[in-house]
Structure 1
Amino acid sequence: MKSADELVASSRPKRRSRWYAGIGNQVLISIVLGIAVGALFPTFSAHLKVVGDTFLDLIKIGVAPLVFLTVVMGIAAAGDLKKASRTGLIALIYFEIVSTVALLLGLLAGNVSGVGIGAGALNGAHAASGVPKPEAEEGGFLATVVPDNFVGAFSSGHLLQVVVVAILLGIGVLTLAPTVQARFTAGLETAAEGFFALINVIMGLAPIGTFGAIAYSVSTNGSAMLFALAELVAQYWIVVALFIVVVLGGICLAAGINVFRLLRAVRTELTLVLGTASSEAGLPGLLKKLPRMGLSRQTVGLVMPTGYAFNLDGTSIYMALCTLFLANAYGIPMGLEQQLGLLVIMLLTSKGAATVSGGTFVVFASTVTATGYLPIEGVAILFGVYRVMSMAIAACNTFGNVVATVVISRWNGDLDRARLREVLADPSALDGDDADEPDRAPHDGDASAPTRTDTATTSRSSS
Structure 2
Amino acid sequence: MSDATLDPHAIPPTPRPAAAAAAATPRKKALWRNLGVQIIIAMALGAAVGFLLPGVAVQLKILGDIFLRLIKTAVAPLVFLCVVVGVTSAGDFKRVGKVGLIAMIYFEIVSTLALGLGMLAGNLLGVGQGMADSTRASLAHGKAPSGANAPHSTLDFILNVFPDNFIGAFARGELLQVLVIALIFGAALLHLSPEKRQPIETGLNRISDAFFEFIHLIMLVAPIGTFGAVAFAVGSSGTTVLLSLIYLILSFYAVVILFIVVVLGAISAMFKINLFQLLDFIREEIYIVLGTASSESVLPRLLEKLPAYGCSRQSVGLVLPTGYAFNLDGTSIYMSMGIVFLANAYHVPLDLGQQLGILAVMLLTSKGAATVSGGSFVVFAATVAATGILPLEGLPILFGVYRFMSIAVATTNAIGNSVATVVTAKLAGEFDPAMAQEAMARLRAERAAAA
TM norm. shorter chain > 0.5: yes
Q: Distance in 2 between matches of 1:35 and 1:67?
A: 30
Query: Contact 1:361 / 1:386 at 8 angstroms: preserved in 2?
Result: no
Q: Residue in 2 aligned with 1:372?
A: none
Determine which of 360, 364, 367 is the counterpart of 2:384. 360
Distance 1:146 1:407, change over 3 A: farther
Letter paired with 2:43: I
Determine which of 102, 115, 118 is the counterpart of 1:102. 118
Q: Residue in 1 aligned with 2:356?
A: 347
Query: Once the 2 structures are TM-superposed, how far is the Cα of residue 321 of structure 1 from its aligned partner?
Result: 6.1
Query: Contact 2:111 / 2:328 at 8 angstroms: preserved in 1?
Result: no
Q: Residue in 2 aligned with 1:265?
A: 288
Distance 1:246 1:5, change over 3 A: farther
Is 1:132 the counterpart of 2:154? The answer is: no
Q: Which has the larger radius of gyration?
A: 2
Distance 1:104 1:224, change over 3 A: same
Letter paired with 1:182: E
Query: Once the 2 structures are TM-superposed, how far is the Cα of residue 214 of structure 1 from its aligned partner?
Result: 0.9
Q: Residue in 2 aligned with 1:28?
A: 36
Aligned to 2:337, what secondary structure does the other structure show? helix
**Structure 1: where are the runs of 5+ without partners?**
271-284, 331-340, 367-379, 417-441, 448-463
Query: Once the 2 structures are TM-superposed, how far is the Cα of residue 239 of structure 1 from its aligned partner?
Result: 1.0
Query: Once the 2 structures are TM-superposed, how far is the Cα of residue 265 of structure 1 from its aligned partner?
Result: 3.3
Q: Distance in 2 between matches of 1:363 and 1:53?
A: 17
Q: Distance in 2 between matches of 1:402 and 1:158?
A: 31
Query: Once the 2 structures are TM-superposed, how far is the Cα of residue 385 of structure 1 from its aligned partner?
Result: 6.3
Query: Once the 2 structures are TM-superposed, how far is the Cα of residue 70 of structure 1 from its aligned partner?
Result: 1.8
Q: Distance in 2 between matches of 1:348 and 1:227?
A: 33
Q: Distance in 2 between matches of 1:156 and 1:309?
A: 30
Letter paired with 2:39: I
Aligned to 1:193, what secondary structure does the other structure show? helix
Query: Once the 2 structures are TM-superposed, how far is the Cα of residue 95 of structure 1 from its aligned partner?
Result: 1.5
Is 1:211 the counterpart of 2:223? The answer is: yes
Q: Residue in 2 aligned with 1:87?
A: 103
Determine which of 240, 265, 278 is the counterpart of 2:252. 240
Distance 1:415 1:93, change over 3 A: closer
Q: Distance in 1 between matches of 2:298 and 2:402?
A: 21
Distance 1:391 1:172, change over 3 A: same
Distance 1:346 1:53, change over 3 A: closer
Aligned to 1:222, what secondary structure does the other structure show? helix
Q: Distance in 2 between matches of 1:215 and 1:60?
A: 22
Determine which of 51, 59, 70 is the counterpart of 2:85. 70
Aligned to 2:89, what secondary structure does the other structure show? helix
Q: Residue in 1 aligned with 2:334?
A: 314
Listed as ranges, the matches of 1:416-455 within 5 Å are: none
Distance 1:142 1:233, change over 3 A: same
Q: Percent identity?
A: 12
Q: CA RMSD in A?
A: 5.3
Q: Residue in 2 aligned with 1:450?
A: none
Is 1:16 the counterpart of 2:26? The answer is: yes
Q: Residue in 1 aligned with 2:302?
A: 294
Distance 1:205 1:360, change over 3 A: closer
**TM-score for both structures, normalised by structure 2:** 0.60
Distance 1:89 1:147, change over 3 A: farther
Is 1:199 the counterpart of 2:212? The answer is: yes
Query: Contact 2:86 / 2:322 at 8 angstroms: preserved in 1?
Result: yes
Distance 1:246 1:292, change over 3 A: same
* Partner deviation per Cα, 1:233-277 (whole Å, 9 max, x = no partner): 44322211211233246556637237997675346775xxxxxxx
Letter paired with 2:248: Y
Distance 1:42 1:49, change over 3 A: same
Q: Distance in 2 between matches of 1:153 and 1:89?
A: 30
Letter paired with 1:247: F
Listed as ranges, the matches of 1:163-242 within 5 Å are: 163-176=179-192, 180-200=193-213, 203-207=216-220, 209-226=221-238, 231-242=243-254
* Partner deviation per Cα, 1:339-380 (whole Å, 9 max, x = no partner): xx95554232234367354853884946xxxxxxxxxxxxx9
**TM-score for both structures, normalised by structure 1:** 0.59
Query: Contact 2:76 / 2:170 at 8 angstroms: preserved in 1?
Result: no
Bigger mean CA offset, 33-42 vs 85-94: 33-42
Listed as ranges, the matches of 1:362-401 within 5 Å are: 363=387, 365=389, 387-389=396-398, 391-392=400-401, 400=409
Letter paired with 1:67: C
Q: Distance in 1 between matches of 2:123 and 2:262?
A: 20
Q: Distance in 1 between matches of 2:124 and 2:185?
A: 42
Letter paired with 2:279: I
Q: Distance in 2 between matches of 1:69 and 1:404?
A: 20
**Structure 2: where are the runs of 5+ without partners?**
5-9, 16-20, 50-55, 266-274, 304-315, 366-378, 426-430, 437-451
Q: Residue in 1 aligned with 2:63?
A: 48
Q: Distance in 1 between matches of 2:176 and 2:434?
A: 34
